[in-house]
Each structure stands twice: as structure tokens, then as C-alpha cells.
Chains A and B, each alone.
Chain A
Amino acid sequence: MRKIFGCALGGLLLVAAPVFAHHSAVMFDDQKEITVTGVVKEFQYTNPHSWLLVDVKNDDGTVTTWGFEAEGPSTLTRAGIRRSDLMPGTGITITGHPMRDGRPAASWVKAKRADGKDLDPRNGFAIK
């Protein structure tokens, strides 16, 4: 399991924030990204937002549950992300913009399942 913090955009002041169905994205730091590797604890496939809960093992052996927020089911469906894609126990590496206040939560930017499948919720707004 690993956890990586990084600067998302190399100092650019213009940033691309996701469309948030019912709230501003100001609680997330869109200048930073965090990447964690863990296993899916629960996929809350709900409106107005979905939450993917991922258990991440820390260096000291404890486990932290991270929450990654995305849009709701229809937008995830448009992105090709179904509830069945992320059943509990699925291995995943996931990247998001972390909370500014340090809580273990982030807005979901992209993810790769252990079998290599990419899961990018932001594709859900593409018109096709």
C-alpha cells in the first residue's frame, strides 16, 4: 500500500475542477493530488455524489479509510464505471484532489484497478 502526495498542476493558476452536482469544490485543494493504493471497502453509488471508500494500509500497519467523491450514478455510467466494477475487496490505485483540512477524503480524478482497467469519472461528461 502506498500514498503519494504531489503538486497537481505544476504551479498553474488556472485549474480544472470537476462539476459538482450540488456543492462547490472549494473544500478540495485542486493544486494538489494524492494517490493511494488499497482495496475497495464500499462503493456508495448514490446521488448527488458517489463515494468510493478505499482502505489503505499505513506504514505503521494501521488502516485508514479514504473517501473519494465523484458524480452520481448516471454520470459514472456515462464514464463506463458501474457499481459492479468496484466490489468490496477490489484492488485499486486512485488519485484525487485532497481535502484542504487534512481529512482522508478527496475528489476522485482517476483510478486504475489492480487488473489494469482505468476508471476516470470525468469522462462522464463527454458527449457521445
Chain B
Amino acid sequence: MFNSNNATRAAGVAILAGTLVIGAGASAQPKPAPPPSAEKQRMIDLGIAHKTAAGLYQYLKEQAHGGQPLNWRSVPDWTGVWTREASPFFWDPDQGDPNALPTAKLTPPYQKQLLEKLDRVNRGIEFDPLSNCEPAGMPRWMVEPFLREWVVTPTQTYLINEMQNEMRRVYTDGRDHPSKDDAYPLWEGDSIGFWDGDKLVIHTSQMRAGQYQRIQPGYSEQVETVEVWHKTEASTMTVDVWSFDPPALVEPWYAKQVYKKLTNDDRSLRIRYWDCGENQNNTVVKTGEGTSDFKNFTFTKKDDK
């Protein structure tokens, strides 16, 4: 099998090079998730204390005295082309080791579902719904590894991921979410927010069920998130995010997401329209065994070996 030095070294490579390290035939018993730091535990406790995403959002709004509306003079400079810093296959970057369990505290059904999925992956059986050209959707949107842009206006902020052209609209004009009877599941959910100085606080509800990533847990349609976006350095965007999801999580799952602004000195990085179906060679199907395979290539026939 492998030893922890190999795993640590490989995980470092994963973070640096954006690769996923998986255990082919790895240990059947994943290692426990790393324990939180004291600072992280404080953020976890903040989520626990407020019980729901709406409760935490309301608390943060009260702390900010209702927030301060932006005007065109006070719009922060969030321009540029950005990407997530951590390995895309960990929702919580603190997981670090691909052979450790995610840091979420899951309910028994979702824990069972995760362990069964990891077992299938270790046996080479894996199919990602993205292969059907579905968008990632929130909250998975936060960890996809491609280019991003943030567009801030006084009354709306657009959070754009080039992958599948996924754009989240965050309404900061004081509106509330739709009524419960008018709410229905959305890929990106419904996001409202307010500005607390140079921090954008967001509450997102109405999301569809999905998975945080391929080797991460699933989430239910009841998932809601609270995010605090803060440009902490010229090239660093830090996002504190809490997921609340009673069917899946026994307590809110807190993680710190970090996005880095790419240099792009030659301006060669441009976000283009993403057409998932434009190349037949990318058509991937679910096999009878439940794993992934290419359907047909344009350059060779199925029985060419």
C-alpha cells in the first residue's frame, strides 16, 4: 500500500499542480478528518450558535447595522481574472490529504452515502453528472478550478465561473428571497446580500441537491449557505462559507475558500463562452457498471485497438 509520507508529498503536488491524488486500491478505511484550529472552531461555533443560515445571516446583518449600500464611488475593485487556490477536489482546503475524510460532520445516511461513493471510486467506478453537461451549481460552484470574474455594481454583484458559463447574481438592493411558496430549486440558488464595509455577506437558498465534489459528500435541496467575501490582499479573495443542510449535516460545515488573482500581464486570459457539447470527442456516458466511458471518437472506431 502507501505510507503517509507518500500521501503528504502527493497531496502537496495536488495543491500545486491542481491534480487530484487518488488511492488506486487505497486503504479501505479513510483516515479521520484533520481537527480544526482554534480560529476555525470559532467560526464553526458561530454557525452552530445561529442554527440556520437565515439566522447567521441576520446576525451578521445586525452586527453590520444593516449594512452600507454601495454607490459607484464606493464600489470595490474586484476586477481581474481569478481562480481557486486549493485542490479542486476538496471542498474544505484543510482536508489536505486525499485519503482523509472530508471535514464535514455528516448525518448517518450521508456518511454512508459518502463511504459507499469513496469505495466505488477506489474500485475505479465513478461517474460525474457534469459528464451529462450539467452545471456544477452551488455550492459545488465554489470549488471548480477554472477562471472566474467578480463584477460589482451598487445593487448587484455577479460572481462568474467560466465553467459552463455559471454566473451567480447576488442582489444587494435590499430585496428578500422569494416567498417559500414561490421558491423552487435552482442550479445557483437565490442569493441576496449586503455590504459590511468592504465585505460582501451573502445568503443563498433554493439550491438543487448535488455533491460538493466527486470525492466529497452530497447535499440536499435544503442546503443553504452564508458567505463572507473579503478581498484581503490585492491578489487574494477570502471567503468564509458555512453550509447548513439538516438532512446531510449534523452541524454547519465551515470552510475558508481562497481565490487568487492571476497575473495575466499579456492579457491572454479571456473568459469565453463554454459549450459543453461542441466536441463529440468529449461525449462521456455512464456504463452498465456505473462508471464513465467515452461514447465515440471522431478519430477512431470503438473496436480500434
Contact = CB atoms under 8 A, between A and B. Distances in A.
Interface of A: 12-19, 21-24, 26-27, 30-31, 41, 44, 46-49, 51, 53, 64-67, 69, 72-75, 77-78, 99, 101-105, 122-128
Contacts of A18: 19-20
Which of B88, B126, B293 has its CB near the most chain A CB atoms (within 10 A)? Answer: B293
14 contacts: A14-B6, A19-B89, A19-B145, A22-B130, A23-B131, A23-B282, A23-B292, A24-B291, A26-B124, A46-B279, A51-B282, A67-B299, A72-B274, A78-B262
A12 B126 contact: no
B269 A78 contact: yes
A77 B264 CA distance: 10
B85 interface: yes
Interface residues of B, number: 62
B24 interface: yes
Contacts of B25: 13
A71 to B, nearest CB: 8
Given A14-B21, A105-B300, 15 more contacts: A14-B10, A17-B21, A19-B88, A24-B214, A26-B291, A27-B293, A51-B299, A78-B269, A101-B305, A104-B300, A104-B304, A105-B294, A122-B18, A127-B83, A128-B262
A104 B298 CA distance: 12
Contacts of B145: 19, 125
Contact of B127 (A17, A24, A102): A24
A65 B85 contact: no
A83 to B, nearest CB: 12
Specify the main secondary structure of chain B where it touches its partner: loop
B146 A74 contact: yes
B147 A74 contact: yes
B2 A13 contact: yes
Nearest to B84: A127
Nearest to B145: A19
B130 A19 contact: no
Which of B17, B22, B281, B282 has its CB near the most chain A CB atoms (within 10 A)? Answer: B282
Contacts of B22: 14-15, 17
Contacts of B85: 127
Contacts of A24: 126-128, 131, 214, 291-292
B20 A19 contact: yes
B50 to A, nearest CB: 33
B162 interface: yes
A125 B84 CA distance: 10
B262 A103 contact: no
Given A19-B145, A51-B281, A125 B131 contact: no
A46 B282 CA distance: 9
B29 to A, nearest CB: 15
Contacts of B62: none
A118 to B, nearest CB: 15
B23 interface: yes
B25 to A, nearest CB: 5
Nearest to B134: A22
B278 A46 contact: yes
Contacts of A48: 163, 274, 276, 282
B21 to A, nearest CB: 5
B274 A126 contact: no
B53 interface: no
B16 A14 contact: no
Interface in B14-37: 14, 16-26
Nearest to A125: B18
B209 interface: no
Nearest to B284: A23
B74 interface: no
Contacts of B291: 24, 26-27
B140 interface: no
A44 B20 contact: no
